[in-house]
Chain A
Amino acid sequence: MHIAILGNGITGVSAAIRLRELRPDWSITMISGESTYHYSRPALMYIYMGHMGYAETKPYEDSFWGQQRIDLVRGWVTAVDTDARRLELADGRELEYDQLLLATGAKPNKFGWPGQDLEGVQGFYSLMDLERLYRSSEGARRGVVVGGGLIGLELAEMLHSRGIAVTLLVREDSYWNNVLPDEESAMVTELIRAAGMDLRLGVELKEVLDDGTGRATAVVTSEGQRIDCQVVGLTAGVSPNKALAEAVGVPCGRGVLTDSSLRAKVPGVWAAGDCAELETPGEERNMIQQVWYTGKAQGRLAAEAMHAEAEGHALPTYDPGIWFNSAKFLDLEYQTYGQVGFHLPGEQHLVWQAPGKLLRIVHIDGRVVGFNAMGLRWRHLVCEDWIREARNVDFVLAHLEDAGFDPEFYSRHEPEMRRTFADQLAKQTEPALSGQEA
């Protein structure tokens, strides 16, 4: 059996490693046009800022792949014959496969802005983008970053680190507040401004102006203001990279459509990670998950499902588990567990804040459903347990220390948190009681 994995991001790699564990006998080929070896995409920014070299971002030694007998092919796949089960690469090479896993990742969104294809205008996703940015930021005095999400702020921080002034255009009226609750969003907004970045809230991009040679020279905002700049970053989210799949007749929706075992709608084809759209019967929308850990989990699951299919066993199905994520906004660390910012019916919030720190507990009728921590490190597995077990807020307050993950000697805030939360909790239950009396 020969498995071809298209894409060597975390999804492809997780699938390959898991497959090798399960099937010493299969041959595995992993193909990518971006690089021969797997590197950590979230670490791209650190290469640009000089925290690491490219070599340091590779999670496995180069010799690992040979030891695991996972063949690496560098090249762009331009065609797939899903009937003959054959791939074609841009340089004419062909490759036969028995099962194909599409792990092609995502692509930065472009919304048809005038001038979006000028030189100096780019998204930030890949090594190609990093190389472009290296070139276009050379000698640049100002960069404009469009989009108020995680990657936008990363890009802004990168430019800033090289002494390039940054203007950040954010459509919302506070940074990332379609995801972050108000207090968190306000903290980050303040931080961005304190760092000396020019943050424009409630402002969108109208067009990018050409300097006459095909290079960007300025942007015009939705308010009609012109901002001179040499680099324009477009970071308004990403969408599944489904172009190849679509072109070769693999059914796609927003992403490559799969069932809950990650089987695509064509025999012998699977999809996982950023590019996949999982059908979730009963739910309003299909599931697209585009973060690191979900890529890892889906890659593993695809491997297990392929193995199960070959063995004639029932296929395992993808369990998204309890959501979590983390990020770092300039110097501020952020971790989230469970359902925060989901606007669930009946949800209530407890918030503790100190300079540069915040802890938020979201609960429904006293049962915790989510946590946000800023400037604090919290223990993933403890939070997950509490959410899964739908622990009572009182229990959580009594055991706050169990969840702390800050390094030794950091000041402990639990007693203060407990007091604040207890006060807030008392106020939250009062109106409910008086409501009953009325």
Chain B
Amino acid sequence: MSSAKPFQLNDSDFTYDFDEEAGGFGVPYEVPAHQRTHAAPGEDEDPADHAGPSLLLRASLGMVVVGVVALLLQVSTGKLLGSWGGLLLGLVLPSVGTALYFWERYRHLSAGIKNDGVFFSGTRNRGLIGWLVGVGMTAFYVALYWFPSYLGYTPAVWDEYGMVSDVQVSGLTLLVDPLARLMTGAPADHWFAYTVLYTLAVVVFGVRMMMRYRNNPYQLIRTASVMFFQTGLAFVLPKLLKSFQQPEFYPTYFWPLKRDVLLPGDYGMNWTATEAAGQVGVWMLVFAGAMTFLATPVLTYLYGKRWYCSWVCGCGGLAETLGDPWRHLSDKSTRAWWIERIVIYSVLAVIVFLTGLLWLNHVRGGELLGGFGASLERHYGFWIGSMFAGVAGVGFYPLLGSRVWCRFGCPQAAILGILQRFLSRFRITTNGGQCISCGNCSTYCEMGIDVRAYAQRGENIVRASCVGCGVCAAVCPRGVLKLENGAGVLEEQRYTS
């Protein structure tokens, strides 16, 4: 060889053996809080460094503990259950405590991206606690759909001679009963309890989301929006309507996500069935139709699918709040992208086909399908409505990320996505050559979009699945990404490379 003096490698580089498959680096040792110091050496240490959690933080945790204990005691002894006092102690107290905890915890951190330690947390990375939470949430959904007695709602039992046992309400369902009576004038069932918990989750974790991104007005306004739509239009309004003997109408859900609003006859809402509901029912039907066929394409053209998926929709609302701690778990591989497209468009095809078939059957007076129609509808409801949207969609948050349903299953998202991909001004633009391929954007994209793949080539991101949550743009440390409602053609030529 031509080299006169041999090239010497640094010894430690030479012996280094980084195992790429194993990921290379584990969870770090954490300095115990009492050993931490931010005082300069020689200076007196600031006692605040060792003070531990603030008073408010302790108080908020206390509220959560007292509330949960109160809840367990109520459910096990039956005491207080069903009274306003019980509701306050067992539900409101721990919820307020949790919200306060998030507020206090993030308030002291500087405003900015707070992802330190996310990948070291077992809760957030399929560690033991992560799995337990996932199994727990899944079990909750299984109970909700098929074993409601575990949630305190035992349906009435009938035999051929009449009712054997009446509806029995206990546990969680009884806990929210006073609220149900106040809002709907009727006793609570497990669905009411579910809606209450759902809304609370959106609000409480909404506080967390807002505190985490409090430097970012887009995130603040968007989170406030999903909190508002869930509380106002997906909870209070339908329940009040019910109290006025009107159909329990959810104005934030349309066909095909809420398929029954446009299904015929008995399969659907049967809008005009009752005399009393007739008038309002017609209006609701008109509204539902307008949302599906008019508002959806127009708003999606103007703003992208985000106007619905991350501003209005309750499923999206839950994913953006309760689901946020797990958003990075979405699979970014091209394989996952393939699966996504196959599955979601299949679901869309099935619901379109099903809706068409049921209408045809309806027009023909039921002769086409007979009892088969009902069975088809039931199957769709079981597999797509319950198993996919609920059990897998929410139950698996801590295992597969927060948008499993939205990404792989939701027929609404499929339609909005097609519109967004081909008929929308919305895109995420890339700031010239500033991308350093760090991967924060892809990592924190809940829809599993490999944002970096586009950004590092200076390309805009126009993807059917993007829900416009804006988190990729927020976490980008180099200011590379911007959600835009496309400008005029001229500008477009100018800003894209």
How long is the Cα–Cα vector from A327 to B215 in the complex, in angstroms? 18
Are A405 and B431 interface neighbours, CB within 8 A? Answer: yes
Is B76 at the interface (CB under 8 A from chain A)?
A: no
| Chain B contacts for A57, CB-based, 8 A | 438-439
- Residues of A near B221 (CB, < 8 A) are 409
Residues of B that sit less than 8 Å from A by CB: 1-9, 12-14, 16, 18, 20, 23-26, 28-31, 33, 35-42, 110-113, 115-121, 215-218, 220-221, 333-334, 431-434, 436-440, 442-443, 452-453, 456, 470, 473-474, 477-479, 482-483, 494-495, 497
- Who on chain B is nearest to A333 by CB? B479
The 8 Å CB contact of A76, one of B13, B112, B456, is B13
Question: Does A43 lie at the interface of the complex (its beta carbon under 8 Å from any beta carbon of B)?
Answer: yes
Which residues of chain B have C-beta atoms less than 8 A from A165's C-beta? 36-39
Q: A81-B1, A248-B7, A381-B497 are in contact. List 20 more A-B contacts (CB 8 A).
A: A52-B440, A54-B24, A79-B6, A127-B18, A128-B16, A139-B29, A140-B31, A141-B31, A162-B31, A164-B31, A165-B36, A194-B110, A243-B8, A247-B6, A247-B7, A331-B112, A377-B431, A385-B494, A405-B482, A407-B483
Q: Given that A33-B13, A162-B30, A380-B432 are contacting pairs, would A331 and B40 also be in contact in the complex, using a CB cutoff of 8 Å?
A: no
- Specify which chain B residues have a CB less than 8 angstroms from the CB of A140 in the assembled complex: 31
Q: Among B14, B334, B433, B473, which residue has its beta carbon within 8 angstroms of that of A61?
A: B334
Shortest distance between the CB of B244 and any CB in chain A (Å): 37
Q: Do B14 and A90 touch across chains, with their CB atoms under 8 A apart?
A: yes
- Whether A196 and B38, one on each chain, are in contact in the complex, defined by CB atoms closer than 8 angstroms, is yes
Distance between Cα atoms of A131 and B25 in the complex (Å): 7
Check if B38 sits within 8 Å of A51, measured CB to CB: no
Q: Which single residue of chain A is at the shortest CB-CB distance from B36?
A: A163
A407 touching B473, Cβ below 8 Å: yes
Q: A139-B29, A405-B431 are in contact. Are A35 and B18 (CB under 8 A)?
A: yes
8 Å CB interface, A155-185 against B: 161-165, 167
Least CB separation from A78: chain B residue: B7
A328 close to chain B: CB less than 8 A: yes
Report the minimum CB–CB distance from B117 to chain A (whole Å).
4
Given A326-B479, A407-B474, answer yes or no on A36-B28 (Cβ-Cβ < 8 Å): no
A298, CB-defined interface residue at 8 Å: no
Distance in Å: Cβ of B146 to nearest Cβ of chain A: 37
- 10 intermolecular pairs with C-beta atoms under 8 Å apart: A78-B6, A80-B2, A81-B1, A81-B2, A83-B2, A127-B16, A141-B35, A248-B3, A407-B470, A409-B217
Return chain A residues, CB-CB under 8 Å to B38. Answer: 165, 196-198
CA distance A286 to B41 in the complex (A): 43
**A360: interface (CB < 8 Å):** no
CB-CB under 8 A from B23, the residues of chain A are: 53-55
Task: Enumerate chain A residues within 8 angstroms of B117, measured Cβ to Cβ.
Answer: 49-50, 161
Name B121's closest neighbour in chain A (CB-CB).
A50
Contacts of A167 in B (CB 8 A): 40-41
Is there contact, CB below 8 Å, between A134 and B25? yes
B-side contacts of A197, CB under 8 Å: 38
Q: How far is the CB of A222 from chain B (nearest CB, A)?
A: 16
CA distance A54 to B25 in the complex (A): 8
The answer on a CB contact under 8 Å between A161 and B18 is no
Structural contact, A384 and B9, CB atoms closer than 8 A = no
Residues of A within 8 Å of B474, CB to CB, are 407
Residue of B nearest to A200 (CB): B40
Contact of B218 among A56, A195, A408 (CB under 8 A): A408
**What is the CA–CA distance of A58 and B450 in the complex, to the nearest angstrom?**
11
* Contact, CB under 8 Å: A36 / B20: yes
Closest Cβ of chain A to B324, distance in Å, is 15
Q: Is the CB of A51 within 8 A of B116?
A: yes
Cα distance A248–B4 in the bound complex, in angstroms: 7
Tell me whether A407 and B482 are in contact (CB under 8 A). Answer: yes
B48 to chain A, nearest CB (A): 10
Question: Which of B110, B220, B473 is the one whose CB lies under 8 Å from A195?
Answer: B110
Q: Are A79's CB and B1's CB within 8 A?
A: yes
User: Contact between A330 and B112 (Cβ–Cβ < 8 Å)?
Assistant: yes
Q: Which residues from A are CB-within-8-Å of B41?
A: 142, 167, 198, 227-228
- Are B111 and A134 interface neighbours, CB within 8 A? no
Q: Does A347 make an interface contact (CB < 8 A)?
A: no
Interface residue A335 (Cβ < 8 Å from any Cβ of B): yes
- The reply on A397 being an interface residue by CB < 8 A is no
- A11-40 CB contact bits vs B (8 Å, 1 = yes)? 000000000000000000000011111001
Min CB–CB distance A59 → chain B (angstroms): 4
The answer to whether B432 touches A138 (Cβ under 8 A) is no
Assess whether A293 is interfacial by the CB under 8 Å rule: yes
| With contact pairs A161-B116, A333-B477, A408-B218 given, residues A380 and B434 touching in the complex (Cβ less than 8 Å) | yes
Residue A410 interfacial (CB < 8 Å): yes
Could you say which of A37, A54, A380 contacts B431, with CB atoms under 8 Å apart?
A: A380
Q: How far is the CA of A48 from the CA of B494 in the complex (A)?
A: 38
A10 at the interface (CB under 8 A from B): yes
Q: Determine the chain B residues whose CB is within 8 A of the CB of A137 once the complex forms.
A: 28
A130–B112 Cα distance when bound, in Å, is 24
Contact of B436 among A40, A51, A196 (CB under 8 A): A40
Chain A residues within an 8 Å CB radius of B433:
293, 296, 324, 380
| Bound Cα distance A407, B18 (Å) | 39
The CA-CA distance from A270 to B122 in the complex, in Å, is 47
Interface residues in A277-319 by Cβ distance below 8 A to B read: 292-293, 296
Bound CA–CA A247/B215 (angstroms):
52
At the interface, yes or no: A379 with Cβ under 8 Å from chain B? Answer: yes
In the complex, how many angstroms separate the beta carbon of B213 from the nearest chain A beta carbon? 10
Q: How far is the CA of A49 from the CA of B28 in the complex (A)?
A: 9
Give the 5 A-B residue pairs with the shortest CB-CB distance, closest first.
A380-B432, A331-B112, A377-B479, A247-B7, A196-B38
Of B14, B440, B479, the contact of A405 (CB 8 Å cutoff):
B479
Contact A328 B477, beta carbon cutoff 8 Å: yes
Q: Which of chain A's residues have a CB closer than 8 A to the CB of B437? A: 10, 40, 42-43, 59, 292
Find chain A residues with CB under 8 A from B1 CB.
Answer: 79-81, 86, 88, 248
Interface presence of A132 (CB below 8 A): yes
Bound CA span A101–B390, Å:
54
* B479 pairs with A409, CB closer than 8 A: no
Find out whether the CB atom of B119 lies under 8 angstroms from the CB atom of A50: yes
Cα of A155 to Cα of B14 in the assembled complex, Å: 24
Can you name the residue of chain A whose Cβ is closest to the Cβ of B117? Answer: A50
Counting chain A CB atoms within 10 Å of each CB, the highest count among B37, B41, B113, B117 belongs to: B41
What is the distance, in angstroms, from B125's C-beta to the closest C-beta of chain A? 9
Q: How far apart are B165's CB and chain A's nearest CB, in angstroms?
A: 54
Q: Select which of B2, B33, B116, B452 is within 8 A of A49 by beta carbon.
A: B116
Known contacts A138-B28, A139-B29, A141-B31; A56/B443 CB under 8 A: yes
Contact B119 A53 (CB under 8 A): yes
Let me know if A244 is at the binding interface, CB within 8 A. yes
Q: In the complex, what distance in Å separates the CA atom of A88 from the CA atom of B452?
A: 35
CB atoms of B439 and A59 under 8 A apart = yes
User: Is A97 at the interface (CB under 8 A from chain B)?
Assistant: no
Which chain A positions have C-beta within 8 A of B431?
377, 379-381, 405
